[in-house]
Amino acid sequence: MFSSPVRAIGLVGAAAALAVGFSGSAQAVPDTMDAPYAQAAARINANGAIQASKGIDMVTRPQLGTYCVSFTKALDLAQTAPQATVESDGFGVVTVITRPHGWCGSEQGTLTVVVRGQDGLRKDMPFTLAIP
In a domain? residue 62: yes
| Exposed e or buried b per residue across 88-125, where buried means at least 16 C-beta atoms within 10 angstroms of its C-beta | eeeebebebbbebbebbeeeeebbbbbbbbeeeebbbb
| Of 44, 29, 24, 37, nearest in space to 84 by CA | 44
pLDDT in tens, 9-46: 443 344 333 333 444 555 555 677 778 788 999 999 99
In a domain? residue 87: yes
In a domain? residue 123: yes
- Count Cα atoms within 13 angstroms, Cβ side, for 8: 3
User: In terms of pLDDT, which residue wins out, 4 or 100?
Assistant: 100
In a domain? residue 6: no
Per the structure, the count of domains in the chain is 1
In a domain? residue 15: no
Which helix (H) or strand (E) is 40 found in, with range? Answer: strand 40-44
CA 28/CA 52 separation, integer angstroms: 9
Confidence of residue 89 (pLDDT cuts 50, 70, 90): confident
Give the pLDDT score at 24. 54
Give the pLDDT score at 32. 76
